[in-house]
């Protein structure tokens, strides 16, 4: 978990180095599409290896794919130069850079709120509430797989569309309109009377998610000072994957008193804060880079 927490922001720093302007939106959509495809292909493959072979074989394949990943990183970062350190600034002092960025840059701050509320509202329904709701209705455990598969297919499809033409879709649509649709979808999912209707709404939520997620990352990258990109992406990761355990703990406790459906509706209401925060973020211009910049480790060829 610690290593993934370091690798995620680092990946977010790399993309803006290779893609600029309109191409950055397409690059983030393509990256999102790869993240969707990987578990779809990897999970069945791993299960097959464990079923027909032994556990050590599946673990070996996992280790090999990790080595390939490392080799790719070594290739794309070859020739990068070390950033020039700021005189008198220690690593401990810079450890709070991400939060200082949020305090100084209103656009980043509102985008942080948008990502935080959306992930907080989505983690508990997907991880906990969905199986509980299915159990309450007596639909069978297979319904959980069908609903999650529909969401993944929808997200994969819209990510592919974004990779091809995200730069042609206005940021307001990709960020605010889809955010409002996501919130409405989360709200409606709690009220669906059948597996078919729940699956259809989940597919729609996935379609919107495949556009909204990369849009949040793209605007965050474009708004952050280049010399503080690592700190900025770390705070975005905190608002994203870092919220899952908090969401599960908070809303699971609330559901004991309010019930599953009512708590799910509360999550949908919280999700509506995301598009509102996105509107406020778009109203603030991207701030210029701070003084005394630290050069990014750009490729030597550049």
Indicate if the pLDDT at residue 180 is higher than 50.
yes
Please indicate whether residue 168 or residue 84 has the higher confidence score (pLDDT): 168
Domain membership flag for residue 69: yes
Q: pLDDT over 90 for what percent of the chain? A: 44
Structure confidence by residue, pLDDT tens digits, 51-80: 887 888 888 988 999 999 899 989 988 888
Domain membership flag for residue 290: no
- Residue 93: pLDDT band (50, 70, 90) is low
Domain membership flag for residue 288: no
Number of domains in the chain: 1
Please indicate whether residue 90 or residue 213 has the higher confidence score (pLDDT): 213
Task: Count other Cβ atoms within 10 Å, centred on residue 249.
Answer: 11
- Residue 185: pLDDT band (50, 70, 90) is very high
CA–CA gap between residue 29 and residue 35 (Å, rounded):
10
pLDDT value at residue 95: 67
Domain membership flag for residue 298: no
Domain membership flag for residue 27: yes
What is the residue-wise DSSP string for the chain? -HHHHHHHHHHHHHHHHH--THHHHHHHHHHHHHHHHHHHHHHHHHHHHHHHS-HHHHHHHHHHHHHHHHHHHHHHTTTBPPPPPPTT--HHHHTTHHHHHHHH-HHHHHHHHHHHHHHHHHHHIIIIIHHHHHHHHT--THHHHHHHHHHHHHHHHHHHHHHHHGGGS-HHIIIIIHHHHHHHHHHHHTT--SHHHHHHHHHHHHHHHHHHHHHHHHHHHHHS-GGGHHHHHHHHHHHTGGGHHHHHHHHHHHHHHH-HHHHHHHHHHHHTHHHHHHHHHHHSPPPPPPSS------BTT-
Domain membership flag for residue 197: yes
Structure confidence by residue, pLDDT tens digits, 261-298: 999 999 999 999 999 999 999 998 765 444 444 444 44
Domain membership flag for residue 210: yes
Measured in whole angstroms, how far is the alpha carbon of residue 237 from the centre of its chain?
A: 8
CA–CA gap between residue 302 and residue 23 (Å, rounded):
18
Indicate if the pLDDT at residue 42 is higher than 50.
yes
Domain membership flag for residue 301: no
CATH assignment at residue 279 = 1.20.1250
Contact 110, 280 (CB under 8 A): yes
CA angle at 206 for the pair 204 and 210, rounded to the nearest 5°: 120
CA–CA gap between residue 293 and residue 147 (Å, rounded):
47
pLDDT value at residue 114: 94
User: Domain containing 184: what range?
Assistant: 2-83+97-283
Query: Measuring CA to CA, which residue among 179, 247, 246 is closest to residue 213?
Result: 179
Structure confidence by residue, pLDDT tens digits, 100-127: 888 889 999 999 999 999 999 998 998 8
């Amino acid at each position: 978990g610690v290593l993934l927490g370091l690798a995620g922001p680092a990946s977010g720093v790399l993309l803006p180095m290779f893609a600029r302007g309109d191409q950055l939106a397409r690059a983030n959509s393509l990256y999102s599409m790869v993240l969707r495809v990987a578990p779809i292909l990897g999970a069945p493959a791993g299960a097959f290896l464990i079923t027909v072979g032994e556990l050590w074989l599946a673990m070996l394949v996992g280790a090999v794919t990790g080595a390939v990943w490392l080799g790719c990183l070594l290739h794309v970062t070859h020739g990068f130069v070390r950033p020039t350190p700021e005189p008198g600034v220690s690593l401990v002092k810079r450890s709070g850079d991400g939060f200082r960025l949020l305090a100084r840059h209103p656009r980043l701050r509102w985008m942080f709120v948008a990502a935080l509320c959306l992930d907080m509202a989505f983690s508990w329904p997907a991880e906990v509430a969905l199986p509980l709701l299915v159990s309450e209705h007596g639909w069978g455990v297979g319904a959980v797989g069908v609903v999650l598969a529909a969401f993944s297919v929808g997200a994969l499809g819209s990510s592919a569309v974004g990779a091809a033409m995200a730069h042609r879709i206005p940021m307001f649509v990709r960020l605010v309109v889809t955010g409002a649709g996501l919130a409405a979808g989360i709200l409606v999912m709690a009220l669906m009377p059948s597996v078919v209707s729940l699956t259809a709404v989940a597919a729609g939520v996935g379609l919107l998610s495949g556009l909204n997620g990369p849009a949040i990352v793209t605007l965050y990258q474009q708004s952050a000072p280049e010399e503080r990109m690592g700190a900025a992406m770390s705070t975005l990761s905190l608002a994203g994957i870092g919220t899952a355990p908090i969401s599960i703990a908070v809303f699971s406790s609330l559901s004991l008193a309010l019930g599953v459906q009512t708590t799910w509706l509360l999550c949908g209401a919280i999700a509506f804060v995301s598009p509102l925060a996105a509107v406020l973020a778009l109203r603030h211009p991207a701030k210029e880079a701070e003084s005394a910049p630290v050069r990014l480790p750009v490729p030597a060829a550049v």
